Structure 1
Amino acid sequence: MWISPRRADPRPVSAILLVLLAGVAAGALNAVGGGGTFVALPALVAAGLAPVTANAATTVALVPAAAAGAWVYRRDVQPVGPTPTWALTAVSAGGGAAGAVLLLALPSESFDVAVPWLLAFATAVLAFGRAGLRAVTAALGRPVRMGPRTVLACQFALAVYGGYFGGAVGILMLALWGVGLGIDAAAGNPMRVAQLAAVYVPAAALFLAASDVPRAPLLPAVVLLGALAGGVAGAHLVRRLPARALRGVVLTTAVAMTVLYFLRG
């Protein structure tokens, strides 16, 4: 399915500035804990792209930032339990590609209808994911010990979601690894960044080949530049910034965007 932008370039300077700032924020948020989609996607829609195009452009634009963050964290990556890192990465890449195919194949109207609910789901994960993780662990008395096959199957499902939409997918990964393997969120964060890159790269390649994102290159390029700068800076500053403050910013943005999407629908 070909995706058409709402209007052609050139864009107003104010729209370009908005998208640039959104890209910086998205790259930084993804590097420190997730939530970049909540900033980049609405900014691109506000700048004139249709929701499906904006979603595809967001994925394309966040690839360099994700790759930069993975490079910064490369020495800190630890295996996810007994699951080989190469297998986890391969599954993430395959799932990201499958999710991108779904986005391109399904009618654009279905995505327009789904966006507010996807945002609401991701917002709920942001707001209650950690509390839910603690509750599940407390109820069980110990973390669930998932085997490699179960981890890979769950990772594939999350990667499909990430290729199709992507909001809070990194947080869902940390929740899966925490519940299933007892991996601390801080210890799992470098692997989260690496797996986000694995999800985004094949999805972005498909979007560049089979959507109209290349026909409206200005805004994705602006987000890309901003996200790259924000991703590198966020990865370097993650240990210096208050985690609670960052989480509050992400959650506030997510709630606001979710409400706005429901109102506009």
Structure 2
Amino acid sequence: MFEWFVLIVAGFFAGILNAIAGGGSFLTFPALVYAGIPPVSANATSAVAVFPGYLGAAAGFRKEILAFDRKVLRHYLFLSIVGGLVGSLLLLVTSNAVFSSIVPWLLLFATLVFAFGKRCTEWLATAHKPLHQAETPFLLAVSIYGGYFNGGLGIILLAAFITFGMQDLHLMNGLKNGMSLVLSTVSVITFAVAGIVQWPQAVVMMAATTIGGYLGALLAKAMPARLLRLSIVSIGFIMTLIFFVRS
């Protein structure tokens, strides 16, 4: 019963974090591992658990997504599909032992991206020339990462868009959420077909993240963003240390 309580609490607060600033996977994935689910299956189940958040975010930015250049949008979404599928398939062929050794580094990378992503995007906005020629390979690589382990995916995408010369934050957020939804849909379908999703835990956490996401949207304007980001970064480093010790 305590393990189910941990999953519900983790899902609830993950929904709040994702609604306000992102970083929910820092809670859902470790909670599932704590509940005794093997790392690969825990990663797949975590992807399913946070999926409603991507759906809601994309719906909220529907206007911005549809306002984007259709040809470019189709190209980006295609890269999301291909990359998400490749990353998901890579996870399926990764053993639990290998994934356990990789997870601490993935968590560390995601935490660093979350901690310094804003500074990096601000620096890129003022210190670069648009790198249009790098769009396809870079976004494909990011999408593969997202299909394999999506921690910090949104921040990486925003940094990429700024590097490509985009300036409208609303359009970038819309595109980020659209790509994340498509990528996550591919991942969830792949994991479901492969049979590695623990559905009882996933369904419970999906309900918890949905409720948390709704409340998180209400709290978004009331909670100091700096304090929230500090909390997420602290959680990320603590989880990283725990998984380094475990591995």
Q: TM-score if structure 2 supplies the norm length?
A: 0.89
1:103 aligns with 2:85: no
Alignment of 1:7-46 (within 5 A): 13-46=1-34
C-alpha contact (below 8 Å) 2:125/2:163 kept by paired residues? yes
- Alpha-carbon deviations, 1:107-143, whole Å to 9, x = none? 22211110001111111111222223334444x3xx4
**Cα distance, 1:51–1:127 mapped onto 2, change above 3 Å:** same
What is the Cα deviation at residue 174 of structure 1? Answer: 0.9
Residue 258 (structure 1) aligned to one of 224, 233, 240: 240
Long gaps (5+) in structure 1: 1-12
* Counterpart-to-counterpart distance in 1, 2:209 and 2:138: 28
Root-mean-square deviation (Å): 2.3
2:189 to 187, 205, 224: 205
**In structure 1, C-alpha distance between the alignment counterparts of 2:188 and 2:33, rounded to whole Å:** 18
1:134 aligns with 2:112: no
Change (3 A) 1:79 1:262: farther
SS of residue in 2 equivalent to 1:44: helix
Q: Comparing 237-246 with 84-93, which one deviates more in the overlay?
A: 237-246
Opposite residue 224 of structure 1, the aligned amino acid is M
Query: CA separation of 1:189/1:162 partners in 2, compared to 1, >3 Å: closer, same or farther?
Result: same
The alpha carbon displacement at 1:182 in A equals 4.2
The question of whether the paired residues in 1 share the 8 Å contact of 2:115 and 2:229 is answered with no
- Give the share of equivalent positions with the same residue, in percent: 32
Q: 1:147-186 to 2 correspondence within 5 Å?
A: 147=132, 150-183=134-167
1:93–1:198 contact (8 Å) kept in structure 2 = yes
Which position in structure 1 is the counterpart of 2:209?
227
Distance 1:185 1:259 in 2: 34
Residues 1:145 and 2:130 aligned together: yes
The equivalent position to 1:113 in structure 2, one of 73, 79, 101, is: 101
For the structure 1 residues 57 and 69, does the alpha-carbon distance in structure 2 shift closer, same or farther, using more than 3 Å as the test? same
Letter paired with 1:14: F
Displacement after TM superposition at 1:60 (Å): 1.4
TM-score by length of 1: 0.83
Structure 1 residues 79, 85: CA separation in 2 closer, same or farther (over 3 Å shift)? farther
